[in-house]
């Protein structure tokens, strides 16, 4: 028991001395930042189908779905890429103007390239679908890119500490502390996508900018 008490006392003193050394040792603290642009390969297009009237004839959601499926298949887009956006996608909308209830369904189509996006938009036009939008863009390996950029940010911090200390004939020692300052991915669909449809009287014009992954790391290094 006495040995155990002595061991813990010694351990506490050692830790205290180590903490004091960290606080009194000269150090440099810097922030490194890195970013990488990635072309998205997972693009999600939202599609809204609503019951509508063509003169006196009602065009049901089922009829619109059938036409949509046909047009997508004609353009070599698999129906398996299309799914309901949620479990309660079919809902009733109350139209106040004429006290009518109309059905609505929302789908999400997953595509991989800008060329596939354009084929999908052509299919929507032929199927007379007026409501579509780019819902999300990402990359299948986004987590790997995030790790890569974090490492680059930390390396940038060390490089900065190195050249700053070299300017005063000092050298970088061991890392004492590393803190992730920022963690974000710029993937704002509104700013990354420009889209106009034929329903607005124009040909399809769509421009998808790369996703920018950016990180900043704060690091504290010993000064040798």
Q: What are 55-104's pLDDT values in tens digits?
A: 888 888 899 999 999 999 999 999 999 988 765 555 555 555 555 666 78
Residue 18, domain member (yes or no): no
Which has more confidence, 147 or 99?
Answer: 147
Whether the predicted pLDDT of 174 surpasses 90: yes
Q: Sorting pLDDT into bands at 50, 70 and 90, what band is 46?
A: very high
Residue 201, domain member (yes or no): no
Residue 117, domain member (yes or no): yes
CATH number at residue 65: 3.30.70.260
Residue 17, domain member (yes or no): no
Domain count, the chain: 1
Residue range(s) defining the domain that contains residue 72: 41-139
Residue 4, domain member (yes or no): no
Residue 120, domain member (yes or no): yes
For the chain, the DSSP string reads -HHHHHHHHHHHHHHHHHHHHHHHS-EEEEEEEEEEEE--SEEEEEEEEE-EEETTEEE-HHHHHHHHHHHHHHTT--GGGEEESSTT--EEEEETTTTEEEEEEEEEEEE-SHHHHHHHHHHHHHTT--EEEEEEEE-TTHHHHHHHHHHHHHHHHHHHHHHHHHTTT--EEEEEEEEEEEEEEE--HHHHEEEE-GGGTS--EEEEPPEEEEEEEEEEEEE-
What mean pLDDT value characterizes the chain? 80
Residue 187, domain member (yes or no): no
Q: Is 0.85 surpassed by the pTM of this model?
A: no
Residue 191, domain member (yes or no): no
């Amino acid at each position: 028991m006495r040995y155990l008490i002595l061991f813990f006392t010694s351990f506490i003193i050692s830790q205290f001395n180590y903490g004091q050394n960290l606080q009194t040792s000269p150090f440099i603290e810097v922030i490194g930042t890195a970013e990488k642009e990635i072309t998205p390969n997972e693009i999600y297009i939202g599609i809204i189908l609503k019951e509508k009237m063509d003169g006196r004839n009602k065009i049901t959601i089922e009829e619109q779905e059938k036409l949509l499926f046909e047009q997508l298949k004609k353009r070599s887009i698999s129906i398996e890429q299309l799914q309901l956006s949620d479990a309660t996608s079919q809902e009733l909308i109350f139209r106040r103007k004429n006290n009518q209830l109309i059905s609505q369904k929302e789908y999400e189509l997953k595509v991989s390239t800008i060329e596939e996006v354009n084929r999908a938009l052509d299919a929507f036009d032929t199927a007379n679908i007026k409501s579509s939008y780019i819902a999300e863009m990402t990359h299948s390996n986004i987590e790997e890119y995030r790790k890569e950029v974090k490492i680059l940010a930390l390396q940038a911090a060390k490089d900065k500490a190195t050249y700053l200390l070299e300017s005063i004939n000092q050298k970088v020692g061991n890392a004492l502390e590393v803190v992730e300052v920022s963690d974000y991915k710029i993937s704002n669909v509104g700013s990354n996508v420009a889209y106009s449809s034929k329903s607005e009287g124009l040909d399809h014009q769509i421009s998808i900018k790369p996703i920018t992954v950016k990180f900043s790391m704060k690091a504290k290094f010993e000064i040798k």
